[in-house]
Amino acid sequence: MKKYKKILLIGGEGYVGSVVKNYFLAKNFYVDSIDCLLYENETSVISNNSENYNFKYGELSQIDKITKINDYDLIILFAGLVGDPVVRKYSKLSTKINVYDIQNIIIFLSKKYKNNFFFISTCSNYGLMQNNDRANEDFNLNPISNYAKAKVSAEKLIMNTKNNASYKPTIFRFATAFGISPRMRFDLTLNQFVLDIYNNIPLEIYDPDTWRPYCHVQDFAQILYQTYKLNYKKRYFEIFNAGFNNNHSTKRELVYKIVKLLNTDMKNIKFINKKGSDQRNYKVDFSKINEKVLLKQKFTIKKGITELKKYLDNNIFKNYSINSNKGNFKVIRKVR
C-alpha cells in the first residue's frame, strides 16, 4: 500500500487554505494546519473530523515552537492579511504579518527545512498593464498595492536563497480566487458581484473595463496537488502563473454574465467610467504551468457563477455576513 505523505498548511483555515486542506485529505494525505483564526473562522476547524487532520492554533512567528517542520514532506504558506481593503484598514498589522513575519519564516525555512515548500503569491504582482499583452513569468512586475508589494518582496527573498538553501521552493502567482469554500468570502470580485446582483443590492463598479484572470478555489487545490506530484527538479525554484487562459474577464463582462445566468436585470448596477482606488489591469499567460503540470480545469467563470447561484437558491448563506472580512453591510457597495 502506498505510504501517503504528511503536509503542513500555514494559514490552512482561510478561504483557499480550507479548500486545499479538504482536497489533500480526500487524497488520503495527512494534513496539519496552523492558523491563528484571525477572522474567527473556527467552523472550518470543527466541521472537519478526518482522522488524518490535525489543527494547531498559532501564528507565523510561532511555527518553530508548535511544530517540527522536517516531519513534513510539503509546507504550503497561505498565511497573511489578504486583499487591498483589509491591508489598508489594518496597515500596521498587515506590515507585521505580510512583510516581517513572512520574510522571517522564509529565511527560517530556507535554513532549517529540508523538503518541499510552496509559496502562494498573486497575479496582482503585474499590477497595471497598459496594452493587451499577456504577462508570462518573466514579465516586469508592477505591484500597485501594499499587498502585492509584500508578495513581490517575498518572491525576491525566496529566489535569493537559491545558492545556500536547504529547502525546495516553488512560487505560485495565482489568479483572483472565486467559488465556494468552508471559510466563505464575499469580498472577492466574482463572489461579491454574484451575491449583490442576486440580492438586488445597488452596485457601483469603477474601472469596469479593466481585465483580471480568475481561478476557482477547487482549481487552486488541483494545481497545488498536481504540481506536488512533479519531480521536484521540475519545480525547484520555479515561478508559475497559476490559472487558466480562458478565465479572463473585465468587470463589465463579468456583470453581463452574472445578470444573464441569474436571469435578472441591470437596474441596480451602475458602471463608473473613472479611476477608482483599485486600478489593477492585467492579462496573464498561464501556458507554462499547463504545459508542465497535468491539469484539467474544473471551473470556468460560467460554472462558478452557476455554483454560487445554487448555494444562494438553497439559502446556504442566509445568516452569513455580507462582508466576511469583518466589514459591515452597506446598501451601496462601491467596487474600486
For residue 225, the Cα-to-chain-centroid distance in whole angstroms is 15
User: How confident is the model over 324-331, as a mean pLDDT?
Assistant: 34
Give the number of C-alpha atoms closer than 13 A to the C-alpha of residue 174, restricted to the C-beta side. 21
| CA dist., res. 258 & res. 309, Å (int) | 9
Average pLDDT over residues 179-205: 94
Task: Provide the phi-psi class of 59: left if phi over 0, else alpha when psi is between -120 and 50, else beta.
Answer: beta
Q: What are phi and psi of 67, to 5 degrees?
A: -155, 160
Q: What is the mean pLDDT of the chain?
A: 89
User: Mind listing the pLDDT tens digit for each residue in 280-306?
Assistant: 899 999 999 999 999 999 999 999 999
User: Would you place residue 334 in the very low, low, confident or very high pLDDT band (cuts 50, 70, 90)?
Assistant: very low
189-212+247-279+298-335 matches 6-178+214-242 in CATH topology: no
Pick from 264, 165, 179: nearest CA to 221: 179
6-178+214-242 is a CATH 3.40.50.720 domain: yes
pLDDT band at 45 (very low <50, low <70, confident <90, very high): low
Cα torsion 241, 306, 200, 14: sign: negative
* Of 180, 172, 255, 273, nearest in space to 212 by CA: 255
* Mean of pLDDT values over 90-110: 92
Q: Which of 99, 83, 108, 245 is nearest to 169 (CA)?
A: 108
Give the strand pairing for 176-178 and 283-284. Answer: unpaired
Q: How far is CA 142 from the centre of its chain?
A: 19
* HEC sequence for 1-26: CCCCCEEEEECCCCCCHHHHHHHHHH
Sorted by sequence, the CB contacts under 8 Å of residue 83 that are 6+ apart come out as: 147, 187, 188, 325
Question: Distance between CA 65 and CA 58 in Å, rounded?
Answer: 9
Specify the pTM: 0.91
What is the DSSP annotation of 97-152?
A: IIIIIHHHHHHHHHHH--SEEEEEEEGGGG-B--SS-EE-TTSPP---SHHHHHHH
- Going from N- to C-terminal start, the domains of the chain cover 6-178+214-242, 189-212+247-279+298-335
Question: CB neighbours of 315 closer than 8 A, spacing ≥ 6?
Answer: none
Q: How far is it, in rounded angstroms, from Cα 122 to Cα 318?
A: 31
Superfamily of domain 189-212+247-279+298-335: UDP-galactose 4-epimerase, domain 1 (3.90.25.10)
Q: What is the pLDDT of residue 81?
A: 86
pLDDT top residue among 81 and 218: 218
Residue 3 has pLDDT above 70, yes or no: no
pLDDT grade for 137, boundaries at 50, 70 and 90: very high
Q: What's the CA gap between 190 and 195, in Å, rounded?
A: 9
Grid coordinates representing 252 are: 463589465
- 166, HSE (Cβ side, Cα atoms, 13 Å): 11
Beta bridge partners of 30: 6
Of 227, 223, 250, which is closest to residue 238 (Cα–Cα)? 227
Instruction: Name residue 215's beta-bridge partners.
Output: 177
